[in-house]
Chains A and B, each alone.
Chain A
Amino acid sequence: MKRVMSLITILSLTFALAACGNGNNAANNAKVTNGAQENAGNTTETAALTGTIEIDGSSTVYPITEAVAEEFGKENKDVRVTVGVSGTGGGFKRFAAGETAISNASRPIKDAEAELAKTNGVEYIELEVAYDGLSVLVNPENDWVDHLTTAELHEIFKPGSTVMKWSDVRSEWPAEDIKIFSPGADSGTFDYFTETINDEAQASRNDAMVTFSEDDNTLVQGVEGEKYALGYFGFAYYEENKDKLKLVPIDGGTGPISPSAETINDGTYAPLSRPLYIYVNKAFMDKPEVKAFVDYFLSNAAELSEEVGYIRLPQEKYDEGAAKLQ
């Protein structure tokens, strides 16, 4: 008993000591890094960049920023870039308080958010970095849907919609219950879709026919497993699951168009393609590492956004952005 006890005591003591020691080292390290940062601040721009860049915001834009941060980090090992996923709104809240250098956004900043930034003295630059095409999808066994018009989408998705069966959309379609899979209310995708299709952000039918999920993979599985399903989500999720889903061409008034890299890039897949943004706090642009990061972002966004499943902007758009930075 006694030996066991002392063993346990010693073990827990070492544990506690190790933890304390760790804390001390960390405190010392803190001084060293701070000193290093001050030094770097004093030296000329030719020295290697150091510092921290804090980014937060939309989970839709996250993969692009992650890719840029990863590549940028390879060339600038001493710059610490962190990217969070608080959502577009959550990100703007922190951005407007001056906490973050860059905010990812899957929609433009709202008036209220811009107002808040203004009262806090935060000035910013808005930069478009890529396109995302919201894709409307059905099950591969669905052989009746050739396309949907935006008016039909509105009938299906409007609040209090009476469309219960596919035959309620077009009478020649099967009289089977329509099973809808929609992104949840916290996502920018839902915001954009409802605003475009129902003319009011967040306005959507909300009855037993609709399954909401914040996880796009759940939506993919829902549409994949249900013959009479209809769903929508970002283009990247369709690209990864091409064999399990059937893309629905959308007629926005100029004939049915399927989303693809070309139709989204040249703007013919309308109105369901949207630009993705980053917002940069002007005050942070004085820091050489932030300026370098934003420059790097714009010159590599085209390639990197395609790699992670989004659509590049036309080159003029990137040039416009670069001009804003000057």
Chain B
Amino acid sequence: MQEQLFSPKDPQVLKAEKLQIASRRKKDSSLKLLFIAATSIGILALILLLATILVDGLSSLTPDLFKNYPSRRAASSGLKSALVGTIYMVLIMVPISFLIGVGAAIFMQEYAKKGWITKIIQLNISTLAGVPSIVYGILGLTIFVRGLQLDRSLLSGALTMSLLVLPVIIVSAQEAIKAVPNTRRDASLALGATKWQTVQRAVLPSALPGILTGVILAVSRAIGETAPLVMIGALTYVAFLPDNVLDQFTVMPIQIYNWISKPQTEFHDLAAAGIIVLLVMLLVLNMIAVILRNRFQKNL
């Protein structure tokens, strides 16, 4: 064999080999082009979207946009009530979904015995993460708006959104808790710590960045959602700020949708400005999530 490798080859075999290599290279480079094309289609679409929105919206992105309530005149129309509504909703939603979501994740990972019941619960949670958001709207309408008589209030909206993001938070918190090495638990238990002390002092601190990443991603999903809030009846014209959790409210995506469906083009520019504000909020949240994740990976 070795001799053959170094011996001069039959020119015809050599030619065939060269051809084979060339065709392989060709295949390789054409596939590379294909993958570049696949990547760039997504990126180009995003760039195109951003460019058109920036062109349309930048001129409307003024301080007035944040100071004004909705109005029939584009010039004096703003998203104050929508922006504040979105922020309030998130502020109520985060503690609720954080406590319930992380609690459920701790139970599933640390306390629950592995059996068919936990498997079924696990399957249910994963399935819930994929349920269309409008279904949560119907659920919220039935339970919170009608059942608990909370009406079309900020609290109903925040609770409905909590339901929507809970599966996402539970799953990501479970992953984060799972990633904590068992040695930490064992060491803690060996020192005589109880289960809760172990969870509290050994597991949660290492899992927290991962959990927070999940929470932030869930929040960014909630900020962009319209369907469930339309279902529970978040309103379009709200010219006041809610000063109590039972007040009515509106949110950014609803305001943007309302502007887009108006006949006057000035409102479409306002909608584009609203989209920029929403995008910036989402980007900031996602950036925080990425930073947290990087810290987490570095320190594990």
| Given A66-B237, A217-B261, A236-B263, 7 more pairs with CB closer than 8 A | A1-B299, A4-B299, A5-B205, A16-B94, A22-B91, A33-B243, A217-B263
A59, CB-defined interface residue at 8 Å? yes
**Interface residues, chain B, CB within 8 Å of chain A?**
70-72, 88, 91-92, 94-95, 98, 205, 208-209, 212, 233, 235-240, 242-246, 248, 258, 260-265, 268, 292, 295, 299
Cα of A86 to Cα of B72 in the assembled complex, Å:
19
Nearest CB to that of B261 among chain A residues?
A215
A73, CB-defined interface residue at 8 Å? yes
Measured CB to CB, the closest approach of chain A to B128, in angstroms, equals 24
Provided the pairs A4-B299, A30-B244, A309-B263 are in contact, do residues A9 and B237 lie with their beta carbons within 8 angstroms? no
- Please, which residues of chain A bring their CB within 8 A of the CB of B299? 1, 4
Provided the pairs A18-B91, A70-B72, A82-B238 are in contact, do residues A23 and B245 lie with their beta carbons within 8 angstroms? yes
- Please, which residues of chain B bring their CB within 8 A of the CB of A307? 72
Cα of A241 to Cα of B265 in the assembled complex, Å:
9
A175, CB-defined interface residue at 8 Å? no
Do the beta carbons of A26 and B244 come within 8 Å of each other?
yes
How many chain A residues have a CB neighbour from B under 8 Å? 51
Q: Which residues 125-158 of A sit at the B interface, judged by CB distance below 8 A? A: none
Do the beta carbons of B261 and A63 come within 8 Å of each other?
no
**Interface residues, chain A, CB within 8 Å of chain B?**
1, 4-5, 8-9, 12, 15-16, 18-20, 22-23, 26-27, 29-30, 33, 52, 54, 56, 59, 62-63, 65-67, 69-70, 73, 80-86, 215-217, 220, 234, 236-237, 239-241, 304, 307-309
Do the beta carbons of A30 and B246 come within 8 Å of each other?
yes
Cα of A67 to Cα of B70 in the assembled complex, Å:
10
- Please, which residues of chain A bring their CB within 8 A of the CB of B237? 62, 65-66, 69, 81-84
Do the beta carbons of B264 and A26 come within 8 Å of each other?
no
Cα of A73 to Cα of B236 in the assembled complex, Å:
15
- Please, which residues of chain A bring their CB within 8 A of the CB of B295? 4
Nearest CB to that of A239 among chain B residues?
B263
Do the beta carbons of A33 and B239 come within 8 Å of each other?
no
From B246, B268, B292, contact of A8 by CB (8 A) = B292
From B236, B260, B262, B264, contact of A83 by CB (8 A) = B236
Provided the pairs A23-B92, A82-B237, A86-B233 are in contact, do residues A63 and B262 lie with their beta carbons within 8 angstroms? yes
Do the beta carbons of A16 and B240 come within 8 Å of each other?
no
- Chosen A-B contacts, 15 in total, with CB atoms closer than 8 Å, are A4-B295, A19-B94, A22-B91, A23-B92, A33-B243, A33-B244, A66-B71, A66-B236, A70-B70, A80-B248, A81-B237, A82-B237, A82-B248, A234-B263, A308-B72
Do the beta carbons of A9 and B243 come within 8 Å of each other?
no
Do the beta carbons of A63 and B72 come within 8 Å of each other?
yes
Measured CB to CB, the closest approach of chain A to B234, in angstroms, equals 8
Do the beta carbons of B240 and A80 come within 8 Å of each other?
yes
Interface centre among B91, B237, B299 (most CB of A within 10 A): B237
Measured CB to CB, the closest approach of chain A to B211, in angstroms, equals 9
From B71, B92, B258, B261, contact of A70 by CB (8 A) = B71
Measured CB to CB, the closest approach of chain A to B83, in angstroms, equals 16
Provided the pairs A9-B208, A84-B233, A86-B233 are in contact, do residues A217 and B260 lie with their beta carbons within 8 angstroms? yes
Cα of A54 to Cα of B208 in the assembled complex, Å:
43
- Please, which residues of chain A bring their CB within 8 A of the CB of B248? 52, 54, 80, 82
Do the beta carbons of A20 and B209 come within 8 Å of each other?
no
- Please, which residues of chain A bring their CB within 8 A of the CB of B263? 216-217, 220, 234, 236-237, 239-241, 309
Cα of A316 to Cα of B212 in the assembled complex, Å:
64
Interface centre among B94, B212, B239 (most CB of A within 10 A): B239
Do the beta carbons of B92 and A19 come within 8 Å of each other?
yes
